[in-house]
A and B are shown apart, each in its own frame.
Chain A
Amino acid sequence: MTDFQTQTVRDALRDAMAEEMRQDDAVFLMGEEVAQYQGAYKVSRGLLDEFGDKRVIDTPITEMGFAGLGVGAGFMGLRPIVEFMTFNFSMQAIDQIINSAAKTLYMSGGQMGCPIVFRGPNGVASRVGAQHSQCFASWYAHCPGLKVAVPYSAGDAKALLKSAIRDPNPVVFLENEIMYGQEFDDVATDPDYILPFGKALIRREGTDVTLVAYSIMVGKAMEAAEQLAEKGISAEVIDLRTIRPLDIETIITSVQKTNRCVAIEEGWPVAGMGSEISAVIMEEAFDYLDAPVKRVTGKDVPMPYAENLEKLAVPQVEDIIAGAEEVCYVGA
């Protein structure tokens, strides 16, 4: 029987890395400020002390270079964890992530696997403007050869990161900057407790509408479901956990029950995860739908700095409630 404890997302991620590094000498962590500074967001606190500078490595500010270096080490059978200080900076390195890490197994006829994890905070931050505040989930979810994890709770963050580190394939692991300090009581203490990729979690059961979300938006969806219940609408909340592979079966099964769906994400609407989810539902459960799928997304604008505009640009609980009411034809 696994014991669960209360931890912040930050500490859960740190423990995941430490446990895997204890188990496997080939695992190492590199990135900007991960060692002496203990991580820009303190996710790697204590790791330098425990594992030394051979395995916890401060890099220069050189994302394309160290991402490529990590991939090369991965080709050689090491298991790098490459931290991006934020995923915004992964744009500098995206060629190495896609062209080198994701495609080489295929291009080599199966010879050149690359067991690497690219991790770091993703998504909307707070009051940092357009270049430091963006969700890259759909960008990476687009690419065959990658796996993409988008955990919500601390327990999921730990168990999925451990899976990612053990995975023989390149994994993009999207954390959320705003959630690092949030506590959850679901963190397994057993170092062998991991979660599989491609298995969504139904966080709340319901019968009237399915809310599909990932990462920080799961929390907003849960709040929305609570308020919807007060209004007499029973919402089911699906936490995707990973978006490549995407657990289509869980989404479809839920929609077959509720007949309505709201897809929620922080990212931009065009070619977003919501677009994909609504397309899949249309292809596989069209006859079950009692209303068109509704997308609740970030607005189609670069992230503004001003407090009021920033709030408008990001999906809020009220937007999710409005979306659910729309597909339930409430107040129409």
Chain B
Amino acid sequence: MSKTLLNMTKKLPKLKASPKEPDQALLEKFYHDMVLIRRFEEKAGQLYGMGHIGGFCHLYIGQEAVVVGMQAALKPQDSVITAYRDHGHMLACDMDPKGVMAELTGRIDGYSKGKGGSMHMFSREKNFFGGHGIVGAQIPLGAGMAFAHKYREDGGCTVASMGDGAANQGQVYEAFNMAKLWNLPIIFVIENNEYSMGTAVHRHGATTELYMRGTGHGIPGLQIDGMDVLKVYEASQIARAYVEEGHGPILLEMKTYRYRGHSMSDPATYRTKDEVDAYRSEQDPILQFKDYLVKKKKAKEETLKALDKDVKTLMKEVADFALESPLPGEEELYTDILIEEVA
């Protein structure tokens, strides 16, 4: 485990379940899903630049290994919630990229009929509970979802993700306190991409070792290289087992990096090009993983190329779908405000 983790707050109790090695199919799925997210976000960036997507749009490029490794450790009854940098989470949850992109373009075939936008998408079917625009608000919501898993005794757990910026919000600690007090089945994830919008982590955090932020509430923390999908997967399985075996909440800090600005309107002048280039060339989650697969002969280059091609073809279809889908009808203005009661 020392190889998997960068740091941890304390040794975890002995767990019954131990992490599994990913099989061939899962390795290929990791690669495919990370490429899918990367290409999806690039396409979203393009469509934004062309004026087809409006408002706020927060891209996930650079952070792909986090959600892909996490999601693979979950069970079908588990639920997921995050903030507004959410496209990657939705694709990892197996939501249809066409529905996600059509939401970005504000069309009727989007997951929220075009009424939510980039930051507000949901899928009950895939247990994805958003997509929330208020920094940190998703963490008490996630605690409530975990409360429901426990109340119903359905064996599920919740993954509630936040950025390093959200880790300073008061309500996050309110949620930590209740989650531990009531031993809720929840994995808190801090995706530390180094910047809270434009403020570097050392400029916004009195302590920058974010995996320790649950310590005061008795929540163990693990720090993981979030650019390495295999390490994310292994740590996530440990966290899932810890929660399932009744130990209560656990906190994972994923050390990661976003290549693009905070949102589409951010030129990211608060960091150097060299810094970004270094991450891209040395720690890119997709390139690193591809190297690993090829060097270790876990996958043939042709197979990966075929996957790349599939994703490229899909993205063309996704973009066409998102642009061809109609705008919501004007009658949609007044629907979905309240659930109409059955008399």
Contact = CB atoms under 8 A, between A and B. Distances in A.
Q: Does chain A bind chain B?
A: yes
Interface stretch (B22-30, B119-127, B293-301): B119-127
B115 A107 contact: yes
Given A60-B177, A78-B151, A106-B336, A68 B141 contact: yes
Nearest to A80: B144
A65 B123 contact: no
A17 to B, nearest CB: 17
Nearest to A99: B134
Contacts of A145: 337-338
A247 interface: no
A331 interface: no
Interface string B118-160: 0011111000011111100101111111111101100000000
A68 B122 contact: no
Interface stretch (B105-113, B201-209, B269-277): B105-113
A109 interface: yes
Contact of B137 (A68, A106, A110): A68
Interface in A206-257: none
A64 B339 contact: no
B144 A110 contact: no
B335 interface: yes
A73 B148 contact: yes
B140 A111 contact: no
B200 interface: no
A74 B336 contact: no
A8 B335 CA distance: 39
B170 A64 contact: yes
B341 interface: yes
A112 B127 CA distance: 11
Contact of B115 (A64, A76, A109, A169): A109
A107 B174 contact: no
Nearest to A145: B337
A108 B141 contact: no
A76 B174 contact: no
B178 interface: yes
A123 to B, nearest CB: 25
A33 B145 CA distance: 23
Contacts of A109: 110-116, 336
Interface in A36-57: 54
Contacts of B192: none
A108 B177 CA distance: 29
Interface centre among B79, B110, B149, B339 (most CB of A within 10 A): B339
B38 to A, nearest CB: 26
Contact of A110 (B139, B174, B335): B335
Chain B interface residue bracket vs A: 35 or more
Contacts of A99: 133-134, 137
Contacts of A67: 140
Given A105-B339, A112-B130, A72 B147 contact: yes
A74 B151 CA distance: 12
Interface in A104-125: 104-113
Given A69-B140, A112-B124, A100 B148 contact: no
Given A65-B178, A72-B141, A73-B144, A108 B337 contact: no
Contact of B341 (A64, A78, A167): A167
A72 B138 CA distance: 9
Nearest to A116: B144
Interface string A76-104: 11101000000000000001100110001
Interface string A134-168: 00000000001101000000000000000000011
B54 to A, nearest CB: 15
A73 B147 contact: yes
Nearest to B139: A68
B175 A68 contact: yes
A100 B143 CA distance: 14
A268 interface: no
Contacts of B306: none
- For A62, A67, A95, which residue has the most chain B Cβ atoms within 10 angstroms? A62
A110 B140 contact: no
A95 B339 contact: no
B12 interface: no
Q: 3 nearest interchain CB pairs?
A: A72-B144, A68-B140, A65-B174
Given A72-B143, A73-B145, A109-B113, 8 more contacts: A64-B140, A69-B143, A75-B129, A76-B79, A104-B130, A105-B338, A106-B337, A108-B130
Interface of A: 28, 54, 59-60, 62, 64-78, 80, 95-96, 99-100, 104-113, 144-145, 147, 167-169
28 contacts: A60-B178, A62-B178, A64-B170, A65-B177, A66-B178, A68-B144, A68-B171, A69-B140, A69-B147, A72-B81, A73-B151, A74-B144, A76-B144, A76-B145, A78-B151, A95-B134, A96-B141, A104-B122, A105-B336, A106-B337, A108-B120, A108-B336, A109-B110, A110-B335, A110-B336, A111-B124, A145-B338, A168-B339
